[in-house]
Amino acid sequence: MRTLLCLTLMLSFVSTTPAKTIRVGETEIFKTITSALKKASDGDTILVFGGFYKEGNIIIEKSISLIGIDMPVIDGDKKVEILSIHADYVTLKGFKIQRSGHASIGDPAGVKVYDSKHVRILDNYFYDNFFSIYIQRSKHCIVKNNRVVSLGVDEQEIGNGIHCWKSDSLLIIGNYLSGNRDGIYFEFVTHSVIWRNISENNTRYGLHFMFSHNDSYFTNIFRNNGAGVAVMYTKHVTMMNNTFIENWGDAAYGLLLKEISDSYIYNNRFINNTSAIFLDGANRIIVEKNLFKSNGWGMKIQANGMDNVITKNNFIRNTFDISTNGSLVLSTFDENYWDRYEGYDLNKDQIGDVPYRPLSLFSVIVETNPPAMLLYRSFMVSLLDKSERILPSLTPDNFIDNIPLMRPLPL
């Protein structure tokens, strides 16, 4: 009985021991982050005051909050991974983390999260790292309101801004990413959300998906990247309210969909891209209420996809609204607005009385013979296109919108 009473009192003491706050800085008892981590226990908070900290690889193995005051700098001296997190329930907030090591083996990062849950990376500035934030085999992590800037020129010499691998239930919110190989990279990541990020001026992709199912990305801006967004070998992805703008180049596009199925693209804006959407091996995709404006190609639809539905979109001032590389089309077009439509509306129901064929004969020619683009403004090309729309002979018969709208939709 006495033993049981002692054990109860000990457990009561442990459960009520208050978490402590440890202060690190030039005027504090602890001068380094590493020394404070040694004294910390699970649940503690370490406050790091403004200054310059170069401590090699800092390893976090306790469930602590590491908070920067006045944006202290943690520097990797181009030699090491700066912060390695191996614990659950860690918060990292308010630091400038810069100059990690660069290596193709091991992929050192500004911050790398290993096999952990409920890690929060908030309000930090990552500068000139190889990989900035790297999350692997982790769950329920939040990466929010960070500024991630690298100095990439050649994509072989730089890593990704936010790199996530074999993880689940991540939230990537409100980050700014520039100068990385890919702004955000997902591989084998499921049930996660990418929301309100700005990804621009990255050397390869603004966002890159590989084998990542049941994810969503909303209200992001992908601007002036080598290519905007690539979603590959994936199913059940929702893409809504995003802006794809000024992704220019010989092989650039706003959105590449390769071997993707059962996904939804809704209320996005594609403006000033070489190709707004490129579908290659895409099946059962719904493309609804999007704006395609001032792109080279609105949509490039390869003939190896099927059962895609393109409906209620606005196609305005694109060089070519639609193109394809084959004669068989297994996708449907309905209730879209086409600014080149020249039909009439006798009953005034805002729906054209004659179907519209959005596929230009010249776009088919350019698809197989790119140098023919030199003739784009010629009178003969305009005559050929108009003749083909009246009496189609070379373009697929079923490449047709039977319910063309007379006015653009209010998107």
pLDDT digits (tens, 9 = 90+) for 134-189: 999 999 999 999 999 998 777 677 899 999 999 999 999 999 999 999 999 999 99
CA dihedral 277, 279, 282, 285 (to 10 degrees): 30
Element (H, E) at 12: helix 2-16
CATH class of 27-390: mainly beta
Average pLDDT over residues 367-378: 55
- Say if residue 274's pLDDT is above 70: yes
Using CA atoms, how far residue 269 sits from 127, 202, 239, 293, 411, in Å, is: 30, 19, 11, 8, 9
Average pLDDT over residues 272-285: 93
pLDDT of residue 10: 45
Q: Exposed, middle or buried by CB within 10 Å (0-12, 13-18, 19+), for 117?
A: middle
- Say if residue 9's pLDDT is above 50: no
For 169-223, where are the E strands, in sequence order? 171-173, 176-178, 182-190, 193-195, 198-200, 205-210, 215-218, 221-223
pLDDT of residue 270: 97
pLDDT band at 15 (very low <50, low <70, confident <90, very high): very low
363 phi and psi angles, rounded to 5 deg: -65, -35
Q: Over the chain, what is the mean pLDDT?
A: 88
Stronger pLDDT, 390 or 402, i.e. the higher one: 402
pLDDT of residue 237: 96
pLDDT of residue 95: 97
Can you tell me the distance from the alpha carbon of 248 to that of 228, in angstroms, rounded to the nearest whole number? 9
- Sketch the domain layout of the chain as residue ranges: 27-390
Reported as a single tens digit per residue, the pLDDT across 93-137 is 999 999 999 887 888 999 999 999 999 999 999 999 999 999 999
Reported as a single tens digit per residue, the pLDDT across 195-228 is 999 999 999 999 999 999 999 999 999 999 988 8
Q: Could you give the percent of the chain with pLDDT greater than 70? A: 84
pLDDT of residue 392: 58
pLDDT of residue 73: 97
- Say if residue 16's pLDDT is above 60: no
Q: What is the pTM of this model?
A: 0.89
pLDDT of residue 249: 72
Reported as a single tens digit per residue, the pLDDT across 22-76 is 999 988 889 999 999 999 999 999 999 999 999 999 999 999 999 999 999 999 9
Using CA atoms, how far residue 333 sits from 59, 240, 275, in Å, is: 55, 20, 18
